[in-house]
């Protein structure tokens, strides 16, 4: 069975997601995270950013903090052990 290397596409999407996040385009950043997670549902970086975008898009009418926490939990479950401490510190902030 041939396995397709999607890492260039994932890296491209992740870069676009972070650029969108930094430019305060939360919905766009979240859509790139969703694209990544469709390809690789264990990508902790996409889960982390998805959690951040959910929190930043929360309003009184549509709170999304639970969704953000769920995404953070997925990130923690999938992070490599050597990145775990940094991830937990970033989530805490």
CA distance 76 to 80: 9
Which residues of the chain register pLDDT less than 70?
A: none
In the block, which residue shows the tokens 């397709």? Answer: 4
**CB 34 within 8 Å of CB 20:** no
Q: What's the pLDDT score for residue 72?
A: 97
Secondary structure E strands in the chain:
none
Are 26 and 56 contacting, i.e. CB atoms less than 8 angstroms apart?
yes
pLDDT of residue 76: 97
Q: What are the pLDDT digits (tens) for 51-75?
A: 999 999 999 999 999 999 999 999 9
């Amino acid at each position: 069975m041939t396995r397709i290397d999607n890492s260039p596409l994932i890296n491209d999407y992740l870069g676009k997601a972070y650029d969108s996040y930094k430019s305060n385009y939360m919905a766009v950043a979240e859509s790139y995270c969703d694209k990544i997670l469709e390809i690789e549902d264990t990508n902790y970086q996409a889960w982390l950013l998805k959690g951040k975008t959910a929190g930043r898009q929360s309003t009184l009418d549509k709170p999304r903090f639970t969704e953000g926490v769920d995404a953070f939990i997925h990130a923690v479950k999938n992070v490599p052990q050597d990145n775990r401490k940094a991830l937990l510190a970033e989530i805490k902030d």
